[in-house]
Chain A
Amino acid sequence: MTLAHAVAQTGNGFLSPTGVEIAFLLVGVATLAAAVLTVTTRQLVHAALWLVVALGGLAVEYLLLTAEFIAWVQVLIYVGSVVVLLLFGLMLTKAPIGRSPDADSGNRAAALTVAAAAAAALVWVVVDAFRTTWIDLEGPAQGSTRVTGEILFRHWVLPFEALSVLLLAALVGAIVLSRRSPEGREGKS
């Protein structure tokens, strides 16, 4: 029914992609290439910078799916803070600048096998299941800041507050873990 409806409405199909689909595909290819470079490059700092490209590409994909608020949250939190944290971590563990030959461990072939098998199985299942399904992107944006704020503070208030407690606990935990206790004395707290 969905297929007939969609085809009758806009003539959707693999052979007549819309502009949004073409943009999604192009950005998706760039995102995937950046992700592959992230996990295969031998320069540790470059891995973090390719991660920026991958996460930014995902933000563009969210925009194309009309989830604006999530896209900007992605830019702010992932590109803004998580990557900076990762770069600081690389710096504080004295990661070598330049090529490091031991960036990959010995079980690379096994990892490649597992990842390829998982990708093949999942792509097969997903394509088989959603071959005739189209997303209707018409109408008002479903992820604008107004909509997201309304559903978040009308229906999801309790999880939201619990999440803030979790963030506080994580903050305290990170501080306690990374605090250097004074020499020769045990930390009191």
Chain B
Amino acid sequence: MHLVYPAVLSVLLFCTGLYGVLARRNAILVLMSVELMLNAVNLNLVAFDVWLRDALHSGQALTLFTIAIAAAEIGIGLAIVLMVYRNRGTSDIDRLRDTAEGREPPGGPAPAEKAEATA
């Protein structure tokens, strides 16, 4: 098989995930795009491992490790998103601007929310 096919597919999947991370507003959709990017990297690892015929099969071992780390990441990420949703009532990443510099949020509910979040 031509090595360009898996490599180009992996590149295109990665860029699709990149677009999703940058353009999506809901935090869970951002997590889905991150999964797409991780899968693109996995496809690259498997393709190059099969191409190089590595005796240790480093690519496949790393792919398994990446899959496990992605599972851990999605668990922690969803827990954080759910906690943010419980504290703020929204999971839109555009509206979580407490640590943004330069722009003060109008009105006074921000300190109260912060106190509630840290409690």
In this assembly, does B56 line the interface, its C-beta being within 8 Å of a C-beta of chain A?
yes
Using an 8 Å CB-CB cutoff, how does the interface string of A57-89 with B read, 1 for contact, 0 for none?
Answer: 010011011110110011001100110011011
Q: Are B2 and A21 in contact (CB under 8 A)?
A: yes
Contact A148 B57 (CB under 8 A): yes
Known: A32-B9, A85-B74, A89-B28. A67 touches B16 (CB 8 A): no
Q: How many residues of A contact B (CB 8 A)?
A: 91
Query: Which of B3, B13, B51 interacts with A32 by CB under 8 Å?
Result: B13
Shortest A47–chain B CB gap in Å is 6
Which residues in A have some Cβ–Cβ distance to B below 8 Å? 12, 14, 17-18, 20-21, 24-25, 28, 31-32, 35-36, 38-39, 44, 47-48, 51, 54-55, 58, 61-62, 64-67, 69-70, 73-74, 77-78, 81-82, 85-86, 88-90, 92-93, 95, 102-108, 110-112, 114-116, 118-119, 122-123, 126-127, 130-131, 133-137, 142-143, 147-148, 151-152, 155-156, 159-160, 163, 166-167, 170-171, 173-174, 177-178, 180, 186
29 contacts between A and B (CB under 8 A): A21-B2, A21-B5, A31-B9, A54-B36, A64-B1, A74-B42, A78-B70, A89-B82, A90-B28, A104-B24, A108-B23, A111-B19, A115-B15, A122-B14, A126-B11, A127-B8, A134-B3, A135-B1, A136-B51, A142-B49, A147-B57, A151-B60, A155-B56, A166-B69, A166-B72, A167-B68, A170-B72, A170-B73, A173-B76
